[in-house]
Structure 1
């Protein structure tokens, strides 16, 4: 009998884990390499231990990835075992997603029972942003898994007052720091508050434990950073996206303060997150005003007004047509915030900051809010059922505090921050929302079935209706998805609303008495139907990833993915395994290089990543990820040319002023390689057509459509160099052989 009971209890979670595995792994190869910047780094890390330890972006160890090492170490190990491919580097995240589903089940079940744990696991498994992060080589779900393991131990530490469990929890958070730096600390309020309010040990002991634990946390967190910074700079890659070649500055700057306020960033003129685009092109000084092909690399034709308004994509020239694959999806933001910003809208911080940000019409909306109302009402119900007040002497109370203090700070951060964050960062909110949804639904059912004079029983139907209304709101933002999908979604929401209304009527008719078995069964059936009604839409959004390729650098699922797939995707992202335009360039380089350390010098990692993936050879990204890093002096570069370390330099691309002196020198002293030798003429013309169009503004009177204007003024010849996509069409290959005597 025990065996039968065990199987019955475990059967639902087994099915959910299979569902999670299908969502995370099915047809995973369509994602190609995912984020090519990270993928190129993993390929480089496979070459030698030095590259591996320092997380080198390029095979020659010139500059590092601008993230800590642990997530990419795991990806590199996976690639070593299975062979380097897009699948092998995404595999760890997909597996971490499935493990996270089991962890949320285990943690919630431990305190609130099997049904609550099962519901929580199901909600997490079908949350769109969670699935999107699982199917990409961004490392966020590795962090989520690590933090959930930390939750297992902090829950035990708070319940039993065991110091060793607290230390294990904080060590795990420190490990998480070495996956995504300060993002791991978003759980700190939950951990510290949960332990502080525990009644298992005295206040004095708790403070002592937390002080010691904080020291341990700091030591683990900073261990790799300190080691790297102690190594002389000539023996390691430059720390990408740092201003002074130290990991500590990277922690405090690009991966720290810039996540709270990017007002001083200047978008393309400042550092940014891989795959994301900032506000405009930088400062006026960075843009300059000369002619690139006359020797001034600092040309920028954008105006200061454009930069301040965030109009990133204002590509001039051409015939005014929108290139294939760059069409904006009707009814979606297309990556642009209502306030402007072009592709800068993919920075969550550039959507309007308010308590309603995550519910508004923007690139964030349909990624995480699917169960948020249920979680909020669920916490209220849980607090009522558990009489949430001092003393906190049982695991249910403590776990409620743990989950709500995980959720609230993150909700406030993502709602109000003006810093840099990407929509897939919202996967951090998925575990507490899922946990509180499972806990809450069980708690609300308890309140509903009880014979009581108060109105707390209304929490169940009201929460389900509120959740359904939010999902209906999300549907209204994506008017161009297929009629069949709309019909299914609307039908499921009608089911939710109808069943919720019947719950109210049924309770009123029975006058609060649901103690009889028959009455309880009817109530359970109606609750199940209403809950199923709110599961359908996020499940559809998550399942969309199986047949629709996500943007590699900006992964997202949900109705946004379906909408973009219906209309063509505007986002510029990784090409994955779909090919590239660099084949002829690579053939030229391989035919002409001799023993140079770097077969090519480019302005930024975005110009280098595809060539690294195809060749596995040294490419110098002169300015780091987006060209903003000041890595080499002109004298040092000349020395490298003289020593035969570099020969070919490709100007143009995503450079943004940090290497103006070097590129100006290259243009004055290098020999121009005929374009016909390294780039197909047809491809070159297509590339110009791809980039020569002008997105001038957001027409608020036309819903979320855009005005496209032809700007064929004839004055852009030779003007497009350097920063951002406006300069991509002006790439020129130079041969520096013999330029330095």
Structure 2
């Protein structure tokens, strides 16, 4: 049996979780409704169970968001109870961040059960500390994109699989599969990033025989498929007339969305390919720098080199130690021996966490389709688990390390700190303070190291050893602390948030095409910027008092009015819904009252023709028909066409 948690470990885990929740709850309203698209869908789900089930953008169930609905359910239920507020939209993600921190602590602790309680406490607490000070984690667990829930579910699945390996029980593999099934219902095929490493760990370390391991793999996969099928099967079988159109698809198909827009197309780039084998290889090599480009690197890479190296060093140390202490070091004997269960859990954790991290790293580097830097939040739990399990092993077996190994680790630390300082070239604002603090710490540490010995060689209990360790810790945390503090303090909005906020090379954001400029009155918030629009929407009993082009614009008006808004063409206005004939029928039957073109002129008047920025297809046809046939008025700086008043 795996070692029971001590009282100190339980207290440390609870305190670490609370610290994360409290830290990320400070200034929680800074982002407002964050991603209006998902906030509006969450509000719609709070108004209609059907909209909640399918992830509809509006309560009437016209079109869904471009993801499965699971990430919307928690904020929707909170809105249903407490009303529509920014905190009711964002708080669920903060709690998910706390739960993720607890899982990271538990995974690190579980991998180091063969070592001392003090070591487990130190490594688990440090893993949580580095987690809370990673800018992309601080951003996305204070935001309402689905990535927060996806990261939590994948981390929970990894933890359940490792528990299954430690205890040898199939039910924990079933739990792991269920969590990944829920992850699929959060962001579809992105959940597959964990599969290679998880299945490798199960195949190597679960049970004493290959038959047992095959049963474990089958149990996990069956639980995964069964869970996603609870929603995906009805999605495939229910009549399209009884549910919203699946946003992001062309044929109103959840399967198409899974394999295309939210699946293989993200990796392949919709069929784009390199020219020949040489071109493909060159492209892959050069792409490895993507995650270290400034826009991406500032999100996550403060400890990247440690994350890439320390787990490998630790695994080599583990294998050497196993050969020294085990009479028969074959994998079969090692796996079958119950007395080696804790050692096996350590091996399995390194394989799963490091493999998951590397898979994510390479896929994100190589994918040719849509990539956003906030995806990197999913790499943080496995990287931190691998790093601090590895560091715990190195510390526990430090007597085994040669002088050359210590020098290598010192060089790694210096390279990591140097990289953090290089990142500051691309930053501005508060992060400069962190750079100065880190630079001073590096200089002082270097002076101590030049006495002829690597700092750790002095021993942990000597004054020099403690000083070097403390300075190294300050240096490692100074810049991430500054970047994360900046991320939390400054507002982020829109569908593609970035952290930290202030980059020297960053362009100012373009004006919101759906939101007029209210700066002259100081009313820039959704709650106070659309009084006129709110008045006409709430006074009309049509199914959709308002209709507009694109889900993004519809979500803004929906949050402002708290009334259903028809999102013509879906997210980017190219989904083939509704057709012009269908829209005419809806207008004729009084189901749609007002129409707002997507791109009004600065003065609020529409010029009588479709802007070149509008997408071709149904949205353009509908816009042209409305402009040609109905009277418009300017409301809150927007051109609003009354579909009950023909043009004179």
Q: For residue 428 of structure 1, what is the aligned residue in structure 2?
A: 378
**SS of alignment partner, residue 159 of structure 1:** helix
Task: Answer yes or no: is 1:603 the counterpart of 2:549.
Answer: yes
Tell me by how many angstroms 1:574 deviates: 9.8
Aligned match of 2:440 in 488, 494, 514?
Answer: 494
CA distance in 2, matches of 1:500, 1:153: 42
**SS of alignment partner, residue 184 of structure 1:** helix
Query: Does the Cα contact within 8 Å between 1:603 and 1:622 map onto a contact in 2?
Result: yes
Which string of whole-angstrom CA distances, capped at 9 and with x for unpartnered residues, describes residues 207-227 of structure 1? 243134323312212321221
Query: Does the Cα contact within 8 Å between 1:79 and 1:89 map onto a contact in 2?
Result: yes
Query: Does the Cα contact within 8 Å between 1:496 and 1:534 map onto a contact in 2?
Result: no
Tell me by how many angstroms 1:571 deviates: 7.9
CA change 1:217–1:471 in 2 (3 A) is same
Which string of whole-angstrom CA distances, capped at 9 and with x for unpartnered residues, describes residues 506-564 of structure 1? 53699x6x57x754x53243123212211111111111233211234222323xx1347
Query: Does the Cα contact within 8 Å between 1:34 and 1:574 map onto a contact in 2?
Result: no
CA distance in 1, matches of 2:206, 2:80: 48
Query: Does the Cα contact within 8 Å between 1:377 and 1:459 map onto a contact in 2?
Result: no
CA change 1:199–1:630 in 2 (3 A) is closer
Tell me by how many angstroms 1:585 deviates: 3.5
Match runs of 1:412-491 below 5 Å: 412-446=362-396, 449-450=398-399, 453=402, 455-478=404-427, 480-481=428-429, 485-491=431-437
CA distance in 2, matches of 1:226, 1:453: 57
Tell me by how many angstroms 1:12 deviates: 5.8
Q: For residue 535 of structure 1, what is the aligned residue in structure 2?
A: 477
Tell me by how many angstroms 1:734 deviates: 3.0
Task: Answer yes or no: is 1:370 the counterpart of 2:302.
Answer: yes
CA distance in 1, matches of 2:376, 2:70: 20
Aligned match of 1:358 in 262, 280, 291?
Answer: 291
Task: Answer yes or no: is 1:243 the counterpart of 2:250.
Answer: yes
Tell me by how many angstroms 1:128 deviates: 0.6
Match runs of 1:298-697 below 5 Å: 354-361=287-294, 363-387=295-319, 391=331, 393=335, 394-446=344-396, 449-450=398-399, 453=402, 455-478=404-427, 480-481=428-429, 485-496=431-442, 498-499=444-445, 502-503=448-449, 505=451, 507=453, 514=458, 518-519=461-462, 522-558=464-500, 561-563=501-503, 569=509, 577=525, 582-590=530-538, 593=540, 595-653=541-599, 655-659=614-618, 660-668=620-628, 670-675=629-634, 678-680=635-637
CA distance in 1, matches of 2:95, 2:160: 21
Match runs of 1:71-82 below 5 Å: 71-82=71-82
**SS of alignment partner, residue 260 of structure 1:** helix
Tell me by how many angstroms 1:17 deviates: 3.5
Query: Does the Cα contact within 8 Å between 1:127 and 1:542 map onto a contact in 2?
Result: yes
Query: Does the Cα contact within 8 Å between 1:468 and 1:496 map onto a contact in 2?
Result: yes
CA distance in 2, matches of 1:199, 1:608: 50
Q: Which has the higher helix share?
A: 2
Tell me by how many angstroms 1:13 deviates: 5.2
CA distance in 2, matches of 1:616, 1:199: 52
Tell me by how many angstroms 1:387 deviates: 1.4
Query: Does the Cα contact within 8 Å between 2:175 and 2:223 map onto a contact in 1?
Result: no
CA distance in 1, matches of 2:514, 2:312: 43
Query: Does the Cα contact within 8 Å between 1:626 and 1:655 map onto a contact in 2?
Result: no
TM-score (structure 1 length as normaliser) = 0.73
Q: For residue 329 of structure 1, what is the aligned residue in structure 2?
A: none
**SS of alignment partner, residue 71 of structure 2:** helix
**SS of alignment partner, residue 562 of structure 1:** coil
Query: Does the Cα contact within 8 Å between 2:513 and 2:598 map onto a contact in 1?
Result: no
Q: For residue 203 of structure 1, what is the aligned residue in structure 2?
A: 210
CA change 1:439–1:366 in 2 (3 A) is same
How many residues align? The count is 586
Which string of whole-angstrom CA distances, capped at 9 and with x for unpartnered residues, describes residues 457-476 of structure 1? 22431221121011012111
**SS of alignment partner, residue 550 of structure 1:** coil
Tell me by how many angstroms 1:99 deviates: 1.5
Tell me by how many angstroms 1:351 deviates: 13
CA distance in 2, matches of 1:119, 1:573: 44
Query: Does the Cα contact within 8 Å between 1:182 and 1:251 map onto a contact in 2?
Result: yes
CA distance in 2, matches of 1:12, 1:497: 33
Tell me by how many angstroms 1:124 deviates: 0.9
CA change 1:531–1:518 in 2 (3 A) is closer
CA change 1:566–1:13 in 2 (3 A) is farther
Query: Does the Cα contact within 8 Å between 1:104 and 1:120 map onto a contact in 2?
Result: yes
CA distance in 1, matches of 2:447, 2:285: 35
CA change 1:444–1:453 in 2 (3 A) is closer
Which string of whole-angstrom CA distances, capped at 9 and with x for unpartnered residues, describes residues 317-341 of structure 1? xxxxxxxxxxxxxxxxxxxxxxxxx
Q: For residue 736 of structure 1, what is the aligned residue in structure 2?
A: 643
Query: Does the Cα contact within 8 Å between 1:605 and 1:626 map onto a contact in 2?
Result: yes
**SS of alignment partner, residue 221 of structure 2:** helix
CA distance in 2, matches of 1:144, 1:222: 21
CA change 1:488–1:64 in 2 (3 A) is closer
Q: Report 1 or 2 for greater relative contact order, CA contacts < 8 Å, sequence distance ≥ 6.
A: 1
CA change 1:738–1:221 in 2 (3 A) is same
CA change 1:634–1:600 in 2 (3 A) is same
